[in-house]
């Protein structure tokens, strides 16, 4: 069985149980449901709220370099800290945090394979205590925007085929049957997908226990939709967190060099006046 391209970015629940008290490890829970941390978390973990601490809260954007530095400093993260992220929904927003940490050049960042669900299912230790952490003097790098796609690049990919667009939402969101995951607010004016996009839901990369599928299974999954590293890839979803999960899989588990996350995602495209929209199932892979 082939190994992941970068196995060092994944740690197991066992590894976390053994290393959670290491002074050079900072464990951070990042959940979709930001109240989950308060229901009990891995002892020693702090929490980041995706909707207030991992984005600019005024304009729609990721953290600026200064905001990212401040988050790291107040979280007790130094430039040489091993940052271990985990969360609910199989690490959706943990992957979002991972993506931003890589944009700002953090060297050693990892995901706990299986996320919060696996920790709970294994009956492991929980704590209600919020640890206090020492402030640091973290310095972020200039943003590496080769990891992020903006609207113009996505439009070019659609018009000229310069990159493969991968829509990682559910089939019902992709076809336009629903405008948001069931039970969540509708954040776009139109349903459907960017013309020419492939639909590979993020969850196909995971096992039932929340861990990632093997490298061989992942390679087969994406190759069956024409994604084999021969062409740049841009992943998108509704707001960019599910696609950061797929970005992580393609970039770090399969080792594709040119993969970007379009965090504007369907909330941007599906609200654009005049933007082309395709509805129904995907065209056959070429």
Of 107, 203, 216, 283, the one binding another protein (CB under 8 A) is 203
Catalytic residue among 55, 188, 206, 237: 237
Kindly tell me which of 75 and 175 has the beta carbon lying closer to another protein.
Answer: 175
* Contact between 173 and another protein per CB under 8 A: yes
The encoded tokens of residue 81 equal 């800290």
Could you tell me which stretch among 11-19, 115-123, 137-145, 219-227 binds another protein (CB under 8 A)?
115-123
* Contact between 130 and another protein per CB under 8 A: no
Quickly count: other Cβ atoms within 10 Å of residue 235's Cβ. Answer: 32
Kindly tell me which of 124 and 231 has the beta carbon lying closer to another protein.
Answer: 124
Query: Is 55 annotated as catalytic?
Result: no
* Contact between 242 and another protein per CB under 8 A: yes
Kindly tell me which of 209 and 225 has the beta carbon lying closer to another protein.
Answer: 209
- 8 A C-beta contact, residue 250 and residue 205: no
CA-based nearest residue to 116, from 58, 230, 63, 39 = 39
Order of all β-strands in the sheet with 198-199: 198-199, 164-167, 233-236, 259-261
Please give the residues from 10 up to 49 whose contact with another protein meets the rule CB under 8 A: 32-33, 35-36, 39-40
Could you tell me which stretch among 13-21, 69-77, 147-155, 173-181 binds another protein (CB under 8 A)?
173-181
Instruction: In whole angstroms, give the CA distance from residue 157 to residue 188.
Output: 21
Kindly tell me which of 121 and 223 has the beta carbon lying closer to another protein.
Answer: 121
Could you tell me which stretch among 3-11, 75-83, 183-191, 228-236 binds another protein (CB under 8 A)?
183-191
Instruction: In whole angstroms, give the CA distance from residue 67 to residue 100.
Output: 11
Instruction: In whole angstroms, give the CA distance from residue 259 to residue 5.
Output: 14
What are the φ/ψ torsions at residue 180 (nearest 5 degrees)? -160, 160
Instruction: In whole angstroms, give the CA distance from residue 243 to residue 103.
Output: 15
- 8 A C-beta contact, residue 163 and residue 234: yes
Catalytic residues: 237
Chain positions contacting another protein, by CB under 8 A: 32-33, 35-36, 39-40, 88-90, 92, 117, 119-128, 169-173, 175-184, 186, 191, 201-203, 242, 279-280
């Amino acid at each position: 069985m082939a190994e992941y391209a970068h196995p060092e970015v994944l740690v197991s629940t066992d590894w976390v149980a053994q290393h959670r008290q290491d002074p050079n490890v900072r464990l951070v829970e990042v959940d979709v449901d930001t109240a989950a941390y308060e229901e009990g978390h891995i002892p020693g973990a702090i929490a980041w709220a995706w909707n207030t601490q991992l984005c600019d809260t005024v304009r729609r954007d990721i953290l600026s370099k200064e905001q990212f530095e401040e988050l790291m400093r107040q979280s007790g993260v130094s430039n040489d800290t091993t940052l271990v992220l985990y969360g609910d929904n199989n690490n959706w927003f943990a992957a979002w945090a991972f993506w931003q940490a890589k944009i700002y050049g953090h060297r050693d960042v990892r995901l706990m394979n299986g996320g919060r669900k696996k920790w709970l299912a294994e009956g492991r230790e929980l704590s209600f205590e919020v640890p206090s952490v020492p402030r640091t003097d973290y310095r972020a790098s200039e943003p590496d925007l080769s990891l992020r796609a903006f609207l113009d690049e996505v439009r070019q990919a659609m018009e000229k085929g310069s990159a493969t667009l991968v829509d990682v939402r559910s089939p019902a969101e992709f076809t336009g049957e629903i405008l948001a995951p069931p039970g969540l607010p509708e954040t776009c004016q139109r349903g459907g997908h960017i013309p020419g996009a492939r639909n590979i839901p993020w969850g196909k990369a995971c096992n039932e226990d929340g861990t990632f599928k093997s490298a061989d299974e992942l390679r087969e999954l994406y190759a069956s939709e024409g994604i084999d590293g021969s062409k740049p890839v841009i992943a998108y979803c509704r707001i960019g967190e599910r696609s950061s999960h797929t970005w992580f899989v393609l970039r770090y588990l399969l080792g594709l060099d040119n993969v970007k996350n379009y965090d504007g995602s369907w909330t941007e495209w599906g609200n654009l006046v005049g933007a082309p929209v395709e509805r129904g199932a995907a065209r056959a892979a070429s």
